Structure 1
């Protein structure tokens, strides 16, 4: 059977994303004013710098475990992507050559802004999932027989059914996979038997959708 855990909605998700969106908007306004006078001689190297500050922190944040550093990198990328949009937008309105390149730069900057917001949502969902996994593990010994039930008759009926099926060990393994990976499917259980536990393997980040 395919089993998946249900994660409760993240508290204050809108607040966190709104704060990051506000950071993007404020940085864009400041950068737009700062880039008011574009020097054609400096366009090329600043243009390259904008691609770096608008994307590299996000890439680094996606490659490291979730931590306070991840949050700092995401805010840095939010500011960098906003600067990227402001820079290419200023050049575009300044009627400097290569307008097509600058339009693409604006679009990429907006994309990186959106990707940063999605990555922040992923970070919050990951934190929520790890918290709930710890709560599910509290008091669990690894055996279904030791599990608690608010209705003793329900537990007795379930245990009789599991025992009669001869799959008690398989059920215990499925629960262990569910707690560690966030999902328990035949394919995932087979992979874990060969490779060992795959933490959060059943979690699909929104940024990869």
Structure 2
């Protein structure tokens, strides 16, 4: 954890999130009793937050480049698992991953390494005030008013996450009700506002 913390410029208060970032679902499945005893979860939720943050930064970087280097076509490519996996190896953090015995025998797949890196990004996002304030606002009884009271950077981050969730709701095969029951990022509160046509700006 110390090396990850130093590489990412975090303080010791982030250790809980950083440790979770390295726990793959296969390890939780094979060690359910230990996971329950220590209240550990896998890195899926952190990886989701981190993937959104990475997509945002990637799109922002490409857009800024295009603004100063005009092109006939603007490409906003996604980041591949291979790129994430290479980053994890370069950071020297692959041995820290906790995976199930079956996955360990096969070696760390790029998809597992990518999830870990995304979860690291998620840990950074969750432990910084900007994203945390935005997510807390989305869980308020009146998220529209809560978002309006935030600084511009926190509001932009929260709206980006909410827009990503809205896109997932319209394209995923998972039912809207299932997302709402999981109370993910305040969607159990904000979803009815989409039905009424109220937009968060």
Q: TM-score range with shorter-chain normalisation? A: under 0.3
TM-score (norm 1): 0.27
TM-score (norm 2): 0.27
Which protein has the larger Cα radius of gyration, Structure 1 or Structure 2? Answer: 1
